[in-house]
Amino acid sequence: MRYPRDLRGYGPNPPHACWPGGANVAVQFVLNYEEGGENNVLHGDQGSEAFLADVIGATPWAGLRHWNIESMYEYGARAGFWRLHRLFTENGLPVTVYGVATALMRAPEQVQAMLDADWEIASHGLKWVEHKDMPREEEAAQIAEAVRLHAVATGSRPLGWYTGRCSVNTVDLVSEEGGFAYISDTYDDDLPYWRVHNAKAQLIIPYTLANNDMRFVTASGFANGEEFFSHLKDTFDCLYREGEEGAPKMMSIGLHCRLVGQPGRFEGLRRFVEYIGGFEKVWVAKRIDIARHWAENYPYQPARLVPSQMDAETFMATFGGVFEHSPFIAQRAFEAELGPVNDTPFGIHFALRNQFRMASEDERLNVLRAHPDLAGKLAAAKRLTESSTAEQASAGLDALTDEERETFTELNTRYVEKFGFPFIIAVRDNTKASIMEAFRRRIENDRDTEFATACAQVERIAQLRIEALYAG
CB contact set of 406 (below 8 Å; sequence gap of 6+): none
How far is it, in rounded angstroms, from Cα 89 to Cα 109?
Answer: 15
- Cα distances from 53 to residues 76, 129, 440, in angstroms, run 10, 14, 75
CB 295 within 8 A of CB 181: yes
Q: Which long-range contacts (CB under 8 A, 24 or more apart) does 448-457 make?
A: 450/419, 451/365, 451/368, 451/419, 451/421, 454/368, 454/419, 454/421, 454/423, 454/424, 455/356, 455/364, 455/368, 457/424, 457/425, 457/426
Strands (E), 76-142: 96-99, 120-123
CA within 13 Å, CB half, 245: 9
Catalytic residue annotation: 371
Max alpha carbon distance in the chain (Å)?
96
CA nearest to 41, candidates 62, 72, 69 = 62
- How would you classify the pairing of strands 282-284 and 96-99? unpaired
How far is it, in rounded angstroms, from Cα 409 to Cα 340?
Answer: 44
Burial class (CB in 10 A: 0-12, 13-18, 19+), 385: middle
- Cα distances from 172 to residues 128, 132, 167, 169, 177, in angstroms, run 19, 14, 10, 5, 9
Classify 453 as helix, strand or coil: helix
How far is it, in rounded angstroms, from Cα 155 to Cα 121?
Answer: 11
Segment (H or E) for 322: none
How far is it, in rounded angstroms, from Cα 129 to Cα 164?
Answer: 9
CA nearest to 164, candidates 310, 52, 69, 266 = 52
